[in-house]
Amino acid sequence: MHTSHHPLILRTSLATMAASIALPSSISLNSSSFSGIRIGAGAQLGVRNFGQSRVSMAASVGQTLQSDALFADYKPSSAFLFPGQGAQAVGMGKEAQSVPAAAELYKKANDILGFDLLDVCINGPKEKLDSTVISQPAIYVTSLAAVELLRAREGGQLIIDSVDVTCGLSLGEYTALAFAESFSFEDGLKLVKLRGEAMQAAADAAKSAMVSVIGLDSDKVQQLCDAANEEVDEANKVQIANYLCTGNYAVSGGVKGIEAVEAKAKSFKARMTVRLAVAGAFHTSFMEPAVSRLEAKLAETQIRTPRIPVISNVDAQPHSDPETIKKILARQVTSPVQWETTVKTLLGKGLKKSYELGPGKVIAGIVKRMERNADIENIAA
């Protein structure tokens, strides 16, 4: 659906944006502070403090290598944007079966994953599809299937050829790298499979959670986190987890810290909080156990310089050096997703048209909140 002038998108409120980023299962609203609000389906992942992320990336990746500066002066005109975990919905992938090249991706996925991914995508059950280990490969495959649906459309190949920048939200960064031919579809799927398993295992190792705070700017959310952290021990500390757009930030951390955020949100004038139905505190130090597993898998994966700029979630910059890309992908699970900065930068550099490829319309909603007249089209599968 073309959304550039769609009245529902233009009227997207902060409340409905909360709905669109909340995972479609077991969402709880902090009822003591907010009542009478119905949250719908749709969710994205989280992150840490913006200042910290730049410092930590400088330390872990080192100074930008000369070979990493290929895309430093990129000028975007047309972008492909790929969704992250939470965009999944039962029934996705069905449309893709009408295009042989798209259907083939699911067949390849079944061999790599060892189970029938398409069956779970189309038939669920929802609880199974929502699990981290299944939703991540499901979204990766369905998003790349959407590219094939577009390719089969009249004028679709011209659109694909016109795309000069790509990025994705958290998991979607892997999809973007596959589209940019930095690694093969198969190698990307193997990475995503391991990423989902490693993140689930890290979440199982500690009691952690995520919550979206709606209606505040990032400074206010940071103050809310600071206030919550005064009341909990080190193991329950919280931090801003996901910079989506003004008025919509996710906080990650220990369960007691998240409960403190929910209890204090109203006094900080938040519109509401939405507990996200994810396995744990993604994009924080709680995910540290996943890093070494990802590093090992990335080390054996052939990664090439992308054919077009792929904007990193970690520092909102494009990278061209394969070794740098590997380091960034390993640290991505413990680092804040800088989506707000990414979209602002693209728009500021003159981006004219963008496409959201894959399940859901979360990204279109975020882009519209940041630039009401933005031209963005959804390509589902």
Which 3 state secondary structure label does DSSP give 89?
coil
CB atoms within 10 A of CB 97: 14
**CB distance 318 to 311 below 8 Å:** yes
User: How many whole angstroms separate alpha carbon 13 and alpha carbon 38?
Assistant: 13
174 DSSP β-pair partners: none
Which 3 state secondary structure label does DSSP give 378?
strand
**CB distance 140 to 170 below 8 Å:** no
Residue type, 166: T
Residue type, 323: E
DSSP string, 49-104: -HHHHHHHHHHHH-SPPGGG-TTTT---SEEEEE--TT---TTTTTGGGGSHHHHH
What are the residues whose beta carbons fall under 8 Å from the beta carbon of 286, sequence distance 6 or more? 202, 203, 206, 208, 252, 253, 254, 280
User: How many whole angstroms separate alpha carbon 311 and alpha carbon 163?
Assistant: 13
Closest CA to 315 of 324, 307, 306, 323: 324
- Tokens for 351, please give them: 């981006």
Q: Where do we find the tokens 């930030």?
A: 249
User: How many whole angstroms separate alpha carbon 24 and alpha carbon 84?
Assistant: 13
Which helix H or strand E contains 325, and what residues bound it? helix 322-332
Q: How many separate helices (H) and strands (E) can be counted in the chain?
A: 16, 10
The alpha carbon dihedral of 289, 179, 323, 114 has a sign of positive
Residue type, 187: D
User: How many whole angstroms separate alpha carbon 228 and alpha carbon 260?
Assistant: 5
User: How many whole angstroms separate alpha carbon 138 and alpha carbon 85?
Assistant: 9
- To the query of whether residue 170 is one of the catalytic residues in this protein, the response is yes
Helices (H), 165-217: 172-179, 185-204
From the candidates 20, 56, 135, 283, give the one annotated as an active-site residue.
283
From the candidates 53, 170, 335, 354, give the one annotated as an active-site residue.
170
Residues recognised as catalytic: 170, 283
